[in-house]
Each structure stands twice: as structure tokens, then as C-alpha cells.
């Protein structure tokens, strides 16, 4: 998502509008941090729900009819973004085997930091060619693809509860 292009071209704002969008994203991030402090669940289900919320919020942002609407919706975008990242980091660290935790965490981090330059070029190109709304809409579509992948993984991989160790046989039996 390219907030500068979205703010300037799609909302006909300038640096001030970009500042408001960034502030709203930050406010949503702080709100998510506080909420997650009191509801610290992890797992694929929560990640899927947050990604659905992220897609919906980005879709609403792409369709923003006014700057006021965009500045309100961006709070939800920031909350879902940080909620997903925090839940993802926690899930990866808690469910990775202790001997593999560092390796798994480094792959998780690489997926985000390493893919950012590629995504930035793609989203920037879309924003330049089709406008800021298109770049935000593509980000929403990417979230929906991630939801579909998450649902496939959820069906294919047994839940941690079903992977518990079998109980010992009953000696009385």
C-alpha cells in the first residue's frame, strides 16, 4: 500500500493528508497493541481473522469517498496490520520446536523484510500506473489470497490440540 500516492492523488491531499493517514495508522497500531495485551491469543485462526479484517479495512480505504472517511478507516488498517504481525511473531515463536525457533523466526522475519522491496516496487508501479486507490485495492486482494492460503493450511495441518501425545494405556483394562 502506498499512502503518499493514495493521500496525494486519490484524496487530493498534500503532505498534510499523508501526515493524517500516517497518524491514523499509528493510532490503530497503538490500539491493537493495547488490545492484544489483554487478549494475547496466538494461532493460525487468529491470524486468518486478522487478515480478513485487514482485507476489509484496506478495501474500505480504497473505496473512501472522503478524506475524513479515509482517516477513520486507516485506524482499522493500522490495528489489523500490527495485530497480524504481533500474532504472527508470537505464533511462530511459540509453536516452533525449541531447537528450531531461531531458524523459524529468521525465516518469518525474512518473509517480511526480504519481500518488502519486491512488494514496494510492485505496489509503487501499480500506484503510478493506476493510482493510489488501485494500489490499496491490490493490497486488499493480496490479503484475501493470504486468507485462502491460510484456510488451505488450516485444513491440511492438524491443530496443536489434536497433536497431543497419546495417553498411556489403562493398566486396569
Burial 116-129 (b: 16+ CB within 10 A, else e): eeeeeeebeebbee
Q: Is residue 164 part of a domain?
A: no
Share of the chain above pLDDT 70, in %: 90
Q: Is residue 10 part of a domain?
A: yes
Tens digits of per-residue pLDDT, 47-94?
889 999 999 999 999 999 888 999 999 999 999 999 998 888 888 888
| Distance from the first to the final alpha carbon of the chain | 62
The pTM assigned to this predicted structure is 0.81
Q: Is residue 67 part of a domain?
A: yes
Domain count, the chain: 1
Q: Is residue 169 part of a domain?
A: no
Q: Is residue 140 part of a domain?
A: yes
Q: Is residue 138 part of a domain?
A: yes
For 8, counting Cβ atoms within 10 Å of its Cβ (0-12 exposed, 13-18 middle, 19+ buried), the class is middle
Mean pLDDT for the chain?
Answer: 85
Tens digits of per-residue pLDDT, 90-120?
888 888 888 888 888 888 888 878 888 888 8
Tell me the residue range of the domain where 33 lies: 3-91+103-155
Amino acid at each position: 500500500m502506498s499512502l503518499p500516492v493514495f493521500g496525494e492523488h486519490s484524496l487530493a491531499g498534500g503532505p498534510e493528508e499523508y501526515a493524517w493517514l500516517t497518524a491514523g495508522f499509528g493510532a490503530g497500531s497503538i490500539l491493537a497493541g493495547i488490545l492484544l495485551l489483554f487478549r494475547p491469543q496466538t494461532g493460525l485462526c487468529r491470524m486468518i481473522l486478522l487478515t480478513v479484517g485487514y482485507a476489509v479495512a484496506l478495501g474500505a480505504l480504497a473505496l473512501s469517498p472522503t478524506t475524513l472517511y479515509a482517516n477513520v478507516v486507516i485506524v482499522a488498517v493500522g490495528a489489523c496490520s500490527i495485530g497480524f504481525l504481533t500474532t504472527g511473531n508470537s505464533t511462530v515463536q511459540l509453536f516452533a520446536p525449541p531447537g528450531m525457533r531461531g531458524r523459524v523466526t529468521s525465516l518469518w522475519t525474512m518473509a517480511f523484510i526480504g519481500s518488502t522491496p519486491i512488494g514496494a516496487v510492485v505496489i509503487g508501479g501499480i500506484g503510478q500506473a493506476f493510482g493510489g486507490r488501485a494500489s490499496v485495492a491490490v493490497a486488499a486482494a493480496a490479503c484475501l489470497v493470504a486468507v485462502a492460503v491460510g484456510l488451505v493450511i488450516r485444513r491440511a495441518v492438524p491443530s496443536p490440540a489434536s497433536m497431543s501425545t497419546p495417553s498411556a494405556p489403562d493398566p486396569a483394562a
